[in-house]
Amino acid sequence: MKSLKIIVLAKQVPDTRNVGKDAMKADGTVNRGALAAIFNPEDLNALEQALRIKDKHPNSEVVILTMGPGRAAEIIREAIYRGADRGYLLTDRKFAGSDTLATSYALSMAIRKMEPYALVIAGRQAIDGDTAQVGPQVAEKLNLPQVTYVEEIQNITETEIVIKRRLERGVEIVKSTLPLLITVHNSAPACRPRNAKRLMKFKHAQTVTEMQNSSEDYIGLQNDRPYLRIEEWSVDDVKADDTWLGLAGSPTKVKKIDNVVFKAKESKVLSGDNGDVEWLVKELIANSTIG
């Protein structure tokens, strides 16, 4: 089989799973400074799917693409420690404030620059916004077929792929042509750990900007070791149109944010007698929990 290029879309997100008191600002937006920046969990499931293809077809290439501020290069390094071959950081002040539509546009322009590719793999959704829109929107902009909620890639050839999807009430096996975009569900296998030797080899991988700001000790390292270079792309590099980007290109407007406080509503204590059991069964059928 010839080499398959697999592009994995990843996002650096605030760790909303470990939320402290100061996680939200007074205006209702996320206080990114107070939360650790992590690899979006379902993007790790996506990366694992890509790496499994590479396990089976070792001449495949797993390329990571992320959009974000300079520090998002960290998740490219992390992906490389786990087995990705290289990565691209899409970064530019003009991207700031992009909603899912503008983000999808930017990502799709970067992906066009990476043609030809066989597969684009993304996590289903990011834990900061939980929209699950970016993957499908990227597919639309690239005019690619898409399969969402992927749990397993059962087979892949140069032209075709067989995929298992995790749906609410079961699984579905689908077949598609390539190229294709898929979004991976968190029921897919967890990502393999960072590998110590890869970490030691690639820990000095940096973008141009990072290199300019780093200590003088390791200057010149990238000349001898070109694999330590993380590509950095701007709006111009991917030939994107400014008007589709940032706040201007983002039709999403936040109207209002509510603080949700969970509290128990009315409760009923049931015993094991027949009357209570019958009441419970009726209740559960009525609200479609069973039936």
Partner 1 sequence: MSNFYTDTTDLQFQLSHPLMKKIVALKENGFADKDKYDFAPLDYEDAADTYNKVLEIIGEICDTTIAPNAESVDHDGPQLIDNAVHYARGTRENMEMLNQAGLIGMSLPRKYGGLNFPITPYVVAAEMVSRADAGFANIWGLQDCAETINDFASEEVKDEFLPRFQFGATAAMDLTEPDAGSDLQSVQLKAHYDQDRGIWILNGVKRFITNGDADISLVLARSEDGTSDGRGLSLFVFDRKDGGLIVRRIENKMGIKGSPTCELVFKDAPAKLVGDRRLGLIKYVMALMNSARLGIGAQSVGISEAAYREALKYATEREQFGKPIIQFPAVYELLTVMKVKLQASRALLYETSRFVDMYKSYAHHSEERKLEKEEKDEMKYYQKLADVYTPLVKLIASEYCNQIAYDAIQIHGGTGFMKDFPVERLYRDARITTIYEGTSQLQVVAAIRGVTTGVYLSKIREYENTKVSPENELLKKRLTEMTAEYENAIQKAQRSDDGEYLDFHARRLVEMAGNIIMGYLLLLDSERDQVYRDSARIFIKRAQSWNRERMLYIHQFEPNDLGLYKIDLMKL
Residues that bind partner 1 (CB under 8 A): 17-18, 192-201, 203, 217-218, 221, 225
- Least distance to partner 1 from the beta carbon of 2, Å? 27
CA-to-CA distance for 7 and 13, rounded, in angstroms? Answer: 19
Which one, 196 or 260, has the nearer CB to partner 1? 196
Which one, 182 or 205, has the nearer CB to partner 1? 205
Tell which residue, 33, 248, 250, 44, has the closest CA to residue 127: 44
Which one, 90 or 126, has the nearer CB to partner 1? 126
Q: Long-range CB contacts (< 8 A, 24+ apart) of 129-137? A: 129/100, 131/100, 132/183, 133/100, 133/101, 133/104, 134/9, 134/100, 134/103, 134/104, 134/107, 135/9, 135/181, 135/182, 135/183, 136/181, 136/183, 137/100, 137/101, 137/104
- Least distance to partner 1 from the beta carbon of 166, Å? 22
Burial class of 28 by CB neighbour count within 10 A (0 to 12, 13 to 18, 19+): exposed
- Least distance to partner 1 from the beta carbon of 191, Å? 10
123: helix, strand or coil: strand
* Residue 248 φ/ψ, nearest 5 degrees: -65, -35
Distances (CA, A) of 106 to 113, 268, 271, 279: 11, 52, 58, 55
- Least distance to partner 1 from the beta carbon of 275, Å? 34
Q: Is 97 left (phi over 0), alpha (psi -120 to 50) or beta?
A: left
- Least distance to partner 1 from the beta carbon of 85, Å? 15
Which one, 17 or 175, has the nearer CB to partner 1? 17
Which one, 225 or 282, has the nearer CB to partner 1? 225
- Least distance to partner 1 from the beta carbon of 156, Å? 21
Which one, 132 or 199, has the nearer CB to partner 1? 199
- Least distance to partner 1 from the beta carbon of 21, Å? 18
Helix (H) or strand (E) holding 184: strand 180-184
Sign of dihedral through CA atoms 76, 79, 81, 86? negative
Which one, 83 or 179, has the nearer CB to partner 1? 83
Among all chains, which residue has been given the structure tokens 């991976």?
A: 184
